[in-house]
Structures are given as structure tokens and as C-alpha cells.
A and B are shown apart, each in its own frame.
Chain A
């Protein structure tokens, strides 16, 4: 599938903001099943400097500095991307067991940005939580095939939790959403990550997009009008990272567009930054994902 994606962020500040500096993580990082064909970033007002680099995890980062005072900001990210369906048919009941993956993840001699060892431990926004560990106990028996285990966990989150955009905010800790049994894609992804890591499974947070309009005859996916988030589980050397979308109870295929992967939301947040002055801001985001063939 080829998609055109337009992601528009506008921020309105209550007062003048000086020396604003932002990190944007909007440009899709390289990912095996994807080819980025074009990309453009438009910022208004025009920044004083823009620095591009690849971040510490699988993420592209643009650093903007706006030297002159601003009261509003708009950021438009546009790109065309080709997404291929997974090369291997994913069969939940074949492939390595939970125990195999646990051992392999610890043995692998790899410190690269996508190395499983980097996604094994608690991270700032996905701290270990005994409650979640306890709840997820049944999913990761040692002998169970890892994809089946991941799928069972994903389905459990999907069926036990309700999608509710009012229940949580960006910085709600996963355990709070867990106790409420409510939240949005970010909360579900974090809960699934905490649960998987409690059993020593490498689990990563993925940010990206969903196609806005479903193919004929299929339901519209939840989370399509904003940036979306799901979970990558490392399923051994051969299968590598496999995407699980607990919000839609789907193993990730060509309806998902990958932007970045990190330990949790903090590593891949689309926009963050610092500035002086002007307390209070309102941010609006609109996303449009259109298939072009």
C-alpha cells in the first residue's frame, strides 16, 4: 500500500513565548517493511535553526529553535510512504517459545538502537508495576509460543479495557489507566509493554499512523484521526520485532504506518520542548492518511 500522510499540529500560547526549542519526531525512521518516498516539514513561523539527527532509539529527530517571541506555532509534516505486508505469514502457534525468546534476548550481542536488550527493562514512563505483572501472569508460560502469548495478552487488553479518551491524559502513569480499565492507544500500549517486560519479554513502544478510511467492507479503525501507538514484541532472531495493536486487537500489517520505536512514549513523543514565559497553551492535532494505491 502507498499512503499520503499529512500531520498538522498547531499550538496557541496564552502569552508570548521566548526562545522556544522543540524536538519533533515526525519523520518516519527506517523500518524493514516500509519505504519513505517523499518527506516535507513546514514550520511557521520559520525557525532560527533546524537540526536533524537520528535519535537514540529508532527515531528521527528535528530540533527547532525559535529565537524571536512567538504566540502561535504550526507544524506540518507530510510524506508519502509505501508499506509492504509482512514478508512471513505470522502463525501464532509456530515459532520460538517464551523461554527461548527470554534466553535469546539476554544472549544477543547487540547494542544497536533496535537491540532487544534495550527494551527489556523498566523505562521512565513504563515503570515496572507488580499489579500489572500479577495480572499478566497467565500469558507467558515458558513453553508457549511467543506470538500466541503476545496475541493472548493483546486480546485480553482489548476485551477487558474500554477506549475512553476522557479517562487519561498524556502523562497518566500506566498503572492508573490499568486500575481504571480505560484509556487510549498510548495507555494500552504502555500497559502491554509493562506486562510483557514483567516476564522478560523485550517490548517496545511504536508511534505511527493508521489509514483513515477503511477498505470497503471493513470497519473504521480506532485512533485513525490522530497519531496512533502500538507495541512491538521481539519474537526471536528469525521473526524479529512483531507489532501488536491492543487498541484494535490486530497483529500489525499494512494498515499501520511506522514512525518511530522507543522504550515508551517519552522516546518517540511527536513534539516536546522548552520555552520561557507564557504559561498555558492549547494544541490541536489533525491527521489525514489517504491511500493512493
Chain B
């Protein structure tokens, strides 16, 4: 059987499959058959099976301008490239990487290429990434480049060409990894059946390559991200987790004595190398753009004086300009004394008089591109424009602009893309594609090419300039051998790592986020419980009995006191209040607002959370269709169940690390606070029995109470259970003892063994409750406890979190006030 038999492309059309040699073509057929079989055997189509894997991996992306992430579009059918064809690509890429390395070294070193006229100065200065500050500086290992991504196009005759060099961001490298994971998980042994090369070794080499250039033997390498609002943040978080690099933002870092440190809960920890996902211009506000808020002041000093390895070296991205393609073939002959193995797209830079004339004569056969990849006056957007496609007026404007500022433009030959089979529905359909390949320096300092990559299948057949556009698909790229590789590393990243335990370092910022994540979750849960209690009466089985109106008022008052509803809402009838509570997005304590905070803080913790957990925490509340008490109750139940499920995942799945401690401390302190607050309010009620019963509900202690006491709800037994009983996981003392254990287990800064401020504070809150019986617990003590909890929270924040962040998020302080 051959599922590709009816694939509608002629043999001579340059299609990747039609063009494949016999043994490789057989693998195409094997894979296509296997995919169709999986569709038919399984309960879902192969597309759905892959989509499920993608969801499990938590893969998503954003198109520029999108507020929300989209799920990742992966075509199940990979590109299959035979070993021989790949060898040609590999050799070409290594040659090009070596060439780029030498050109960067010249630009920031001797500048002989400019001096001797081999490279115009204006091609260098035209790039906004040319960093004059970097001239004369040299990286420790003499490697300016560590990671290099390159876009390749395959022409109709099967010839591969370089479309673009990427030295700033290796976007797609994480997606290549995830595509492979999703594909291999959906297809069982298929990959090894066709002898596809594995990717893991490449990532091990990448890590080894950065490691070898570091000062210390066991360096700490961090991935520097612009933050969770960056388009490729999910990819960065995934890579960091996969490689075991701490994921850090500028504000986590500090430079001291020309060394870089990450602020952690255990004090500053040195960072030896940074894989940066930030533009050079934004790296250090004191050296480059002073407006940058994502960089690290004085970071420049750290790398300039040898205290820090950077991948890639700042300023290296100057070579990304399309204009460089006009010079690289000549530079290849000059610097390497070799012919380029992989041609790049033929390019003429108009900053030279002769070239400008060629472009103007042959204009209609060419595309006109912005020479430095930035928008220029006469071209809309940054994509190259075929001159022939322009109307008379636009063309005249372009010609005028090109005469005025010729150096902003280059002409390029039009590249035609060959196609590859994509599985759309049940059919294989030809789709034009480009391939992004990745090259990294390995542990021996030499270049190694990822055996595979990231393919984009265009929906339109147009040239692809961004990572993913509307309607595009991505696909895995499999490089296949004739025979299985003699040895394939068993561990994920190659080599046997040293055994270690614990959760790695915990940055102060991450600790802060975990703590508040815990607090927000607990607050939402308690709010949901209160709403349930308010509504509880109205759908009681016996209908008429219901909740005491005064107790309801007290409950509404609690919501008002912690900022879940406005004063105006608090005056509405209780049932209407409940509806408003869930939708409240304006107040800091409103449920919608809190859920939004949970999502947003959760995003930045993505590298620490399992996908299940992350998905659960970031789910939005469905809109309330109509106001009916049962609809509100359904939502409330959904929320309570969600947080129970999350508690379960935390208890069962999270390693007992400081990270977990901060998450749990947040929950415990918030819960301790709520218990005090609701106890105090409800104890004021005239309708004692109903109020105490509600208190048992809110503290989820109704069943324990009933099994312990035959009597109805009475003050002392109820309060003992919800405040003092150390075995009740909802009681105040239980929260305080747990907090005590957590704080005591956190690292200390000095070696004098004295308890630090947070530990002293937590013990001060706990102490009275350990020595009192319930009859001695009064409103004054609970009020005092609330104040002490507030001061404990401040002590925790002062000791473990970044201080200057506080003024930026004043709404947080409201939660405890």
C-alpha cells in the first residue's frame, strides 16, 4: 500500500518527496502509511492525536498583536531528508558559521575588512545592532557565536539556499524540540523504524559549548528572557526547563565587582554565562539604550572584564542585515579561501553605485528588500516586495526613495520554493516550505548542526519572514540514515550527569511570584466558599428555612472588607451580590481580577509548573449566561473543585523544594488570615448556631465536627476545631505550624544560626495559641493575630523578595489590609 500514491505532484516539480531517492522515498511512504494507520486505528484522527500531545506539552505561541496564546499548529507529516542530502546542508552551514564568526571578529576587532575595502563601513553601521561599545572587546573563549539559526529555502531543482541568518535570537529552536516530542509521542517507534537521527545530542553539545568557555568548571548558565509578555516566552521557558538553565529576567540579576549574580532566596548566586534572548541594545541601560527596562545595569562590565560569557556575544547580530548577503560570498573566498558550499540569495546592495545601477536596470526581475531588515520609507512592512508587483505610483515613489537613500535598499533574486507533502484532513497536499536549521558550538568548540529543524509550511506560498504567520503550519524535520546509528545516547542530553537533588536555585522574583500565586488561589477559594454559604440558604431542601439574614449580611460584609465587592454592591440583596462577586474585575480582591492575576503570575512560573497544573490554573471562568442561583453555584463549585485539584497536584507532584514552600506559605498565610477574619465576623452574630455552622462550612470542618460532637454548633467546640486543633488541616494553628516549618527550612543568609526575622515573626504569631485553651481566645487576640500576620508577610517579603518591586504593585498590599 502507498498512501502517497495519489499525491498530486509531478516527478519533475522539485517536491521534497517526489525528488527523494529510492530508499528515502520508501521512508516517506512508510511514515505516511503509519500516520494513516494511526488515524484509522485510533479513536481520533492523527491530527487530533498530535494536537493532544501539543496540549500536554503546553506548547503555544503568539502572533504579533495577539493578546492570547494560540495552540501550536503542527502538521503530523514530517519532512524527511536523506543522509546524503543533509550532509551537503551540514557542511554548508558549518562553513557559513565559521565565516560569520570571522566577520564578526573582524568588525569588533581589527576592522581590516572595512579598511581594505572588502566591506563598506555603511553596511556595518546601517544595522541597528552594530554596537560601537563592543569594539575592541574579545570573548574569553574567542567565540563570538555559540548559537546560529538560519532560514533555508529549497528551490525547484532541489538546490538549497540561505534566506536569512539569525544571530540574535534562535527562535524556533525550542519549537523544533517540542515538535519532535509531540511527533514521537504520537507515533510510537516510527522514528526509530525509519532511523531518524535524534535531537537530544545537539542540545547537550550546545550546553557543553557554552560551558567550555566559562571561567569555572561547573558553571551556572542562565537563560535571560525579556519576560512573560514576550512573544516567544513559552519557547524560552520550555528550553530553560529542558536544558536545566535557570530562566531569569533582568530584574532578577545584579552586577557586583564585574560579576553577574542572580538574587535568590539564599542570597546572590553567581552566573557564569548567559544565553540571551534580549537584543544587545536592551542588555544594559547604562551602556546601551538608557530607556531599557528589561536589562541589567552594568552588565556590560561583567562581560567586558571577563566575568561573564555571553551567547551570542553582544553586537554579533549586526550580521543579520540582508545587505550582508551581498558580501558574504566574496568574504568567504577572501577569509576562508573556499567557494561557498551553500549559496545565499543573490543580493545587490544599493549603497554601491554599480550595484544600484544593476538593481534599477533589472528591477522587474527582482524583489526589493530593506537592506537592514527594518521598515524603510518606500516599502510597507519588512517583507521584500517584488518590484514587478507594484503599481506605477508606488514604483515611482520607490525609485525616488532609492535615489535619495540608496543604502537602505537591496535587490534580491526571486526565490521559488519547492513543496513537501502535508497531511490536510485525509489527503496529502503539496505545501511550499522553508526550513530553519540550527547550529551550535559543541563541547569541543567546533560547530555541530541539529540533525533536523523546524519547517514552516506556508498557507499562501509566499515567502516566510516571521516565525509563524496566520494559517501556517509547522512540521518536524527528520534526517534519516540507511542503518540505525551505532550508538544513540540513552539519556536526554547525552552523558551521565552528576546525581543531584533539590529544586535548583530559586530566584527572589520567582519566590515572590510563587508566594502570591498561593495567596491569590487561597483567596479565590475562600471567596467562593463564602458565596456558596450565602446562596446555600436559598436552595435548601426545605426552601423556607434558609440562612439567617443577619449571617448573610455578615458574610457580605466580609466580602466587602477584603475588597471583593464595592460598597455599592454590598448594599444589594445577597443573591445579586453573589453574582457580582464572580464578575468583579475592577477591585483588587475581585474574583475575576484574582483569576487574571493567577494566570499572569502563573505565566512567569511556567518553567516550574507541570502542564496540567498550568492549564488548570489559567483556565478562565465561562461567562455567566443568566443570573440564576444555580448557575452561580455551578461556577462556585467549579472554582472550589479546581483549587482542590490544584492542591492535590501540589501535594502529589511538586518536589519538596523551596519553590513549593513559598507557594504553600502563600496559601497558609492567606488561609490563616481568612480563618481569623471569618471567625471574628461570625462570632459577632446574634444567630449563633447558624453563624457557627457557616463557620464550619467555610473551614470545611462540618463532617469532623459532627463526628466529634453530637450537639449542634456551639461556640467553644466549633472555635476549638477551627482555631486550635493542630490536626485539622483547615485550622488556624495548623496553618501557623506549617508556616513555622516552612520558614525554618528556608536557607539563612548568615552563619550565626540565629533565627531570621520571618522565623521570629511566625513564632510570635504561633506562641499564644500553643498555650491557651479556647475559652481564653477572644476577639482581641484574633485581631492581634491578623496584625501579626500582616507583619509576618512583610518580613517574608523584605527578606526573600526584591524590594524595589513593591511600589510597582500597590494592589497587593490591599489584600491584607
Which A residues contact B (CB, under 8 angstroms)? 18, 21, 23, 55-57, 63, 103, 105-111, 113, 115, 117-118, 120-122, 124, 128, 130, 133, 198-200, 266, 269, 272-274, 276-277, 279
How far in angstroms is the closest Cβ of chain A from B421?
A: 44
Residues of chain B lying within 8 A (CB to CB) of residue A109: 114-117, 121
Please name the residue on chain A nearest to B406 by beta carbon. Answer: A200
* Cβ A106 vs Cβ B125 within 8 A: no
> With A and B bound together, what is the CA distance between A111 and B372 in angstroms?
17
Residues of chain B lying within 8 A (CB to CB) of residue A113: 132
How far in angstroms is the closest Cβ of chain A from B333?
A: 20
* Cβ A199 vs Cβ B111 within 8 A: no
> With A and B bound together, what is the CA distance between A63 and B301 in angstroms?
11
A21-B286, A117-B121, A266-B289 given; A200·B133 CB < 8 A: no
Residues of chain B lying within 8 A (CB to CB) of residue A118: 121, 125, 132
B658 in contact (CB, < 8 A)? no
* Cβ A106 vs Cβ B122 within 8 A: yes
Residues of chain A lying within 8 A (CB to CB) of residue B297: 21, 274
What are 7 A-B residue pairs whose CB atoms fall within 8 Å in the complex?
A: A23-B290, A105-B122, A109-B117, A111-B135, A118-B121, A122-B374, A200-B404
B351 in contact (CB, < 8 A)? yes
> With A and B bound together, what is the CA distance between A72 and B528 in angstroms?
49
> With A and B bound together, what is the CA distance between A105 and B405 in angstroms?
12
B120 in contact (CB, < 8 A)? yes
Which among B120, B131, B133, B290 is the interface contact of A106 at CB below 8 angstroms?
A: B120
A106-B407, A130-B377, A276-B803 given; A266·B122 CB < 8 A: no
Give B374-420 interface residues, CB cut-off 8 Å to A.
374, 376-377, 404-407
B807 in contact (CB, < 8 A)? yes
* Cβ A107 vs Cβ B120 within 8 A: yes
* Cβ A56 vs Cβ B132 within 8 A: yes
B352 in contact (CB, < 8 A)? yes
B320 in contact (CB, < 8 A)? no
* Cβ B807 vs Cβ A110 within 8 A: no
* Cβ A103 vs Cβ B353 within 8 A: yes
Which interface residue of A103, A107, A274 has the most chain B CB atoms within 10 A? A274
Residues of chain B lying within 8 A (CB to CB) of residue A106: 120, 122, 351-352, 406-407
Residues of chain A lying within 8 A (CB to CB) of residue B298: 21
A106-B351, A109-B117, A109-B121 given; A273·B286 CB < 8 A: yes
Residues of chain B lying within 8 A (CB to CB) of residue A117: 120-122, 124-125
* Cβ A120 vs Cβ B286 within 8 A: no
> With A and B bound together, what is the CA distance between A18 and B135 in angstroms?
32
How far in angstroms is the closest Cβ of chain A from B303?
A: 15
Residues of chain B lying within 8 A (CB to CB) of residue A272: 290
B285 in contact (CB, < 8 A)? yes
How many residue pairs between the two chains, A and B, have CB atoms under 8 Å in the bound complex?
Answer: 89
Which interface residue of A111, A274, A276 has the most chain B CB atoms within 10 A? A111
How far in angstroms is the closest Cβ of chain A from B120?
A: 7
Which interface residue of B124, B131, B285, B286 has the most chain A CB atoms within 10 A? B286
How far in angstroms is the closest Cβ of chain A from B684?
A: 41
How far in angstroms is the closest Cβ of chain A from B167?
A: 19
How far in angstroms is the closest Cβ of chain B from A141?
A: 11
Query: How many residues on B have C-beta within 8 angstroms of the other chain's C-beta atoms?
Result: 39
Residues of chain B lying within 8 A (CB to CB) of residue A105: 122
> With A and B bound together, what is the CA distance between A55 and B281 in angstroms?
15
* Cβ B132 vs Cβ A121 within 8 A: no
How far in angstroms is the closest Cβ of chain B from A205?
A: 15
B804 in contact (CB, < 8 A)? yes
Which interface residue of B289, B290, B376 has the most chain A CB atoms within 10 A? B290
Residues of chain B lying within 8 A (CB to CB) of residue A110: 114, 121
* Cβ B125 vs Cβ A63 within 8 A: no
B244 in contact (CB, < 8 A)? no
Which among B122, B281, B374 is the interface contact of A120 at CB below 8 angstroms?
A: B122
> With A and B bound together, what is the CA distance between A140 and B128 in angstroms?
25
How far in angstroms is the closest Cβ of chain A from B465?
A: 20
B351-371 vs A, CB cutoff 8 Å, 1 = contact: the mask equals 111000000000000000000
B717 in contact (CB, < 8 A)? no
B629 in contact (CB, < 8 A)? no
How far in angstroms is the closest Cβ of chain A from B252?
A: 14
How far in angstroms is the closest Cβ of chain A from B173?
A: 29
B126 in contact (CB, < 8 A)? yes
> With A and B bound together, what is the CA distance between A122 and B124 in angstroms?
14
A111-B121, A128-B377 given; A200·B405 CB < 8 A: yes
> With A and B bound together, what is the CA distance between A269 and B286 in angstroms?
12
Residues of chain A lying within 8 A (CB to CB) of residue B125: 111, 115, 117-118, 120-121
Residues of chain A lying within 8 A (CB to CB) of residue B132: 56-57, 113, 118
* Cβ A111 vs Cβ B124 within 8 A: yes
* Cβ B406 vs Cβ A269 within 8 A: no
> With A and B bound together, what is the CA distance between A266 and B288 in angstroms?
9
How far in angstroms is the closest Cβ of chain B from A62?
A: 12
Please name the residue on chain B nearest to A272 by beta carbon. Answer: B290
Which among B121, B128, B133, B353 is the interface contact of A115 at CB below 8 angstroms?
A: B121
* Cβ B286 vs Cβ A274 within 8 A: yes
Residues of chain B lying within 8 A (CB to CB) of residue A21: 286, 297-298
> With A and B bound together, what is the CA distance between A63 and B298 in angstroms?
10
> With A and B bound together, what is the CA distance between A219 and B236 in angstroms?
61
B130-143 vs A, CB cutoff 8 Å, 1 = contact: the mask equals 01110100000000
Residues of chain A lying within 8 A (CB to CB) of residue B376: 128
Which interface residue of B122, B352, B376, B405 has the most chain A CB atoms within 10 A? B122
Residues of chain B lying within 8 A (CB to CB) of residue A63: 286
How far in angstroms is the closest Cβ of chain B from A50?
A: 14
> With A and B bound together, what is the CA distance between A47 and B631 in angstroms?
64
* Cβ B289 vs Cβ A274 within 8 A: no
> With A and B bound together, what is the CA distance between A103 and B285 in angstroms?
35
A109-B115, A117-B121, A117-B125 given; A199·B404 CB < 8 A: yes
The 6 A-B residue pairs with the shortest CB-CB distance, nearest first, are A56-B132, A117-B121, A276-B804, A117-B122, A117-B125, A272-B290
B301-319 vs A, CB cutoff 8 Å, 1 = contact: the mask equals 0000000000000000000
> With A and B bound together, what is the CA distance between A91 and B253 in angstroms?
55
User: Besides A21-B297, A117-B122, A277-B807, 19 other CB < 8 A contacts?
Assistant: A18-B804, A56-B131, A56-B132, A56-B133, A108-B121, A109-B115, A109-B116, A110-B114, A111-B125, A117-B125, A120-B122, A120-B125, A121-B125, A122-B374, A130-B377, A133-B404, A200-B405, A277-B804, A279-B807
How far in angstroms is the closest Cβ of chain B from A169?
A: 14
* Cβ A200 vs Cβ B407 within 8 A: yes
Residues of chain A lying within 8 A (CB to CB) of residue B407: 106, 120-121, 200
> With A and B bound together, what is the CA distance between A113 and B297 in angstroms?
24
> With A and B bound together, what is the CA distance between A165 and B135 in angstroms?
38
A63-B286, A120-B122 given; A198·B405 CB < 8 A: yes
Which among B114, B126, B352 is the interface contact of A121 at CB below 8 angstroms?
A: B126
Residues of chain A lying within 8 A (CB to CB) of residue B803: 276
* Cβ A266 vs Cβ B290 within 8 A: yes
Residues of chain A lying within 8 A (CB to CB) of residue B114: 109-111
Residues of chain A lying within 8 A (CB to CB) of residue B107: 111
How far in angstroms is the closest Cβ of chain A from B131?
A: 8
Give B88-107 interface residues, CB cut-off 8 Å to A.
107
Please name the residue on chain A nearest to B404 by beta carbon. Answer: A199
Residues of chain B lying within 8 A (CB to CB) of residue A130: 377
* Cβ B377 vs Cβ A111 within 8 A: no
Residues of chain A lying within 8 A (CB to CB) of residue B135: 56, 111
Please name the residue on chain A nearest to B123 by beta carbon. Answer: A117
> With A and B bound together, what is the CA distance between A215 and B305 in angstroms?
49
A106-B351, A117-B121 given; A199·B289 CB < 8 A: no
Residues of chain A lying within 8 A (CB to CB) of residue B115: 109
> With A and B bound together, what is the CA distance between A103 and B405 in angstroms?
11
Which interface residue of B114, B131, B405 has the most chain A CB atoms within 10 A? B405
Residues of chain A lying within 8 A (CB to CB) of residue B117: 109
Please name the residue on chain B nearest to A57 by beta carbon. Answer: B132
How far in angstroms is the closest Cβ of chain B from A220?
A: 33
How far in angstroms is the closest Cβ of chain B from A109?
A: 5
> With A and B bound together, what is the CA distance between A111 and B404 in angstroms?
23
